């Protein structure tokens, strides 16, 4: 099991929109960065991740899971370089965890959200996952 963080601008794709897709989930499309694409290619069904509102809010607002393996991105207009996974909402973060709070926590100093802020799909270690869940009031984080 691996853990990830997915960034989305809420005016384009919000947590509420993600939740509305239900168990079917939604393609995580539009990623045009090779490292982020490679992260998606490494994902497995059931991997958990954070849904992070970027630009507005700057906070982890929910937990998602991979529900379809890497496949061609339907928004790539036939460009075979770009893949995506499908993710579905699992649960809300009881208290959103802000970027400011993440940066203030010494246990998270090495987290990609702090060190590689621009990367739209990032790996998260199990320790980071558990710490952010703790900060957000999620007592029994989904694994």
In a domain, 17, yes or no: yes
Domain that holds residue 11: 3-136
> What pLDDT, on the 0 to 100 scale, is given for residue 118?
87
Q: What is the CATH number for 113?
A: 3.10.590.10
Q: Does residue 11 carry a pLDDT above 90? A: yes
In a domain, 35, yes or no: yes
Look at the chain and report how many structural domains it folds into: 1
Q: Does residue 76 carry a pLDDT above 90? A: yes
In a domain, 142, yes or no: no
In a domain, 94, yes or no: yes
In a domain, 121, yes or no: yes
> What pLDDT, on the 0 to 100 scale, is given for residue 1?
86
Interatomic CA distance for residues 15 and 23, integer angstroms: 14
pTM of the model: 0.96
Interatomic CA distance for residues 45 and 94, integer angstroms: 24
> What pLDDT, on the 0 to 100 scale, is given for residue 109?
97
- Residue range 97-116: average pLDDT? 97
H-state helical runs in 4-98? 15-20, 34-41
Burial (0-12, 13-18, 19+ Cβ within 10 Å), 51: buried
- Per residue in 50-59, pLDDT (tens digit) is 999 999 999 9
In a domain, 89, yes or no: yes
């Amino acid at each position: 099991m691996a853990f990830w963080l997915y960034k989305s601008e809420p005016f384009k794709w919000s947590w509420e929109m993600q939740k509305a897709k239900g168990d079917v989930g939604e393609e995580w499309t539009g990623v045009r960065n090779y490292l982020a694409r490679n992260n998606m290619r490494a994902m497995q069904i059931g991997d958990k991740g954070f849904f992070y509102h970027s630009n507005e809010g700057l906070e982890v607002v929910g937990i998602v899971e991979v529900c379809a393996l890497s496949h061609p991105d339907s928004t790539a207009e036939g460009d075979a370089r770009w893949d995506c996974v499908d993710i579905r909402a699992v649960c809300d973060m009881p208290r959103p965890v802000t970027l400011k709070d993440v940066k203030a926590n010494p246990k998270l100093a090495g987290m990609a959200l702090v060190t590689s802020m621009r990367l739209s799909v990032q790996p998260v270690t199990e320790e980071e996952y558990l710490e952010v869940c703790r900060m957000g009031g999620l007592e029994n984080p989904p694994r």
